Amino acid sequence: MTAERDAEDLIAEAAAAPVGGWGFAWLAGRATEERPPWGYAQLVADRMAHADAALDVDTGGGEVLAEVPRPPRLLTATEAWPPNVEVARRTLRRVGASVVAVAPDGPLPFRDASFDLVVSRHPVRTDWVQTARVLRSGGTFLSQQIGAGTMRELSEAILGPLPPPAQRHPEQAALAAEAAGLRVVDLRRATLRATFSDIGAVVWFLRKVIWTVPGFTVDRYRAPLRALDRRIADEGPFVAHAQRFLIEAVRT
């Protein structure tokens, strides 16, 4: 079997693999990514243990929320991507959470001051005004977010050179939070090394993390995928860097 055939098999396998939920087990042994040093899941668990009513925005498949050992009395999650909604409902039964399907960029469908804790891991976009509205006075918002220029090396390997990122800077998030009536009490950032050992891992990742190459399809980007496959064969695993930041704010 030729190397060309190997590449096409890997691409076809990854193109057919399911990408529902927000787990990355399919990449085991094929890709790695460092974890942020602050331990987001443990931070969420700690704050959930002292909350009465909590909301997880953009829960994905509910993977983080499902691991909370002491859920609050009222636990709710929202999700806008239809394939994830049923995944999250199944996953979150164990902690008694309800999952509300929402429209992308729509308002949070909850009354003012409904929650004393709102969390969100890798939200597509944070609506700071809506977040402040549903928080009770003194309530907390805790979020791990995608930073500016995340996985830029991978984006440029497929798309070519890109302009400097204009959005997703931690400072922008902090200013928006303050403008909405939140007081930022913690802001941290991290650059995390990620590796891809074969082109199948790249294809699957691009299908799942859709903002890395917007509008990605195998057919549209087959030529740069083949070039990246040759690069991996010649140089070893492809290395990129994920950008993350943690923000915690309190409703004033």
Tens digit of each residue's pLDDT (9 = 90 or more) over 117-128: 999 999 989 999
Tens digit of each residue's pLDDT (9 = 90 or more) over 1-37: 344 559 999 999 999 999 877 789 999 999 999 999 9
Tens digit of each residue's pLDDT (9 = 90 or more) over 156-174: 999 999 999 988 999 999 9
Mean pLDDT score of the chain: 95
Q: List strands edge to edge, sheet with 31-33.
A: 31-33, 182-196, 238-251, 135-146, 115-121, 53-56, 74-79, 98-101
**The pLDDT value given to residue 5:** 56
**The pLDDT value given to residue 1:** 38
All structural domains of the chain, each given as residue ranges with its CATH number in brackets, are: 3-251 (3.40.50.150)
pLDDT at 200 exceeding the cut of 80: yes
**The pLDDT value given to residue 180:** 98
For residue 84, give every residue at least 6 positions away whose Cβ sits within 8 Å of its Cβ, in sequence order, or none.
Answer: 20, 21, 22, 59, 60, 61
**The pLDDT value given to residue 22:** 73
pTM for the whole structure: 0.89
- Listing DSSP states for 159-202 in one string gives H---PPP-S--HHHHHHHHHHTTEEEEEEEEEEEEEEE-SHHHH
User: Distance between CA 242 and CA 190 in Å, rounded?
Assistant: 8
**The pLDDT value given to residue 2:** 42
User: Distance between CA 117 and CA 139 in Å, rounded?
Assistant: 6
The predicted model gives 170-185 an average pLDDT of: 98
**The pLDDT value given to residue 83:** 87
The predicted model gives 201-215 an average pLDDT of: 96
The predicted model gives 130-139 an average pLDDT of: 98
User: Distance between CA 250 and CA 252 in Å, rounded?
Assistant: 6
